[in-house]
Structure 1
């Protein structure tokens, strides 16, 4: 592998949220991901970075989502839910300079990639982490808000939001919640 050109990209950073045993939101990991390759014999230099895995499939990608005339049915027009309880949502969030979202929790597993700019993820316990262009976040049902602290630059995050099992931490049920 040493004869291959070095990647021009910065290391892949992964931030993962979770809960303490008492149910408080927390950052459980903030790491630079290790590089993997297709195989030990790989000579391509094409790196793989695994960011998160779950063990139960939800999505159906067969003909269920076609109309009687065989055309694809676009569910976006029909569905305005923030989280699809039994499915997934792929969306883009744009944050204007100086804006802050409400503190909130969704019962979901969210995979995010910061595509442009910089945002601060803030948890209800006061923990804060600044995420920059190219960083990733695995948001696991914690109370949080997003803050664009720039006075001039917009930020954009791509998210894949997966419906999750009901959230119970330390015997306490945690539901979707939005604070103003």
Structure 2
């Protein structure tokens, strides 16, 4: 039934994602206002924002969000919530150039200028490594990535095998026998 209605389901998914993006924007604005007032942001609100971001990552990368996630992982706190993008980038750059880091940037939809984020460039990256994933290899090429590894689409047999492996015995509940 889902296969025969995939266009309708896909359109509904698009509408739902748009609603989720709008809700995320409203919550993010309130969080920013609360930070300016030095109010405490509840952990479940921050987790919800992170979960939403991972569900919807966007065509235009959110530099501030990327900077914040990387800073948190490096134990770096931005002192002033009003710091601009370049100030945050400078602090990240300083922290990253002195470490040995594997940075994984997953599901990139649009060109991400690493220097603007604060990620050391190839010449001064030192021992740091970056692994980026995208569904569009053109994005990586625009960013100057040279060691790109393409992953093909699974054929029907491989896809079904992966589904069975991941679903375990649950797929048998529906009475399918394969």
Which of these two proteins has the greater Rg computed from alpha carbons?
2
Q: Normalising by the residue count of structure 2, what TM-score does the alignment of the two structures yield?
A: 0.25
Q: Normalising by the residue count of structure 1, what TM-score does the alignment of the two structures yield?
A: 0.25
Larger relative contact order (Cα-Cα within 8 Å, sequence gap ≥ 6):
1
| Higher helix proportion | 2
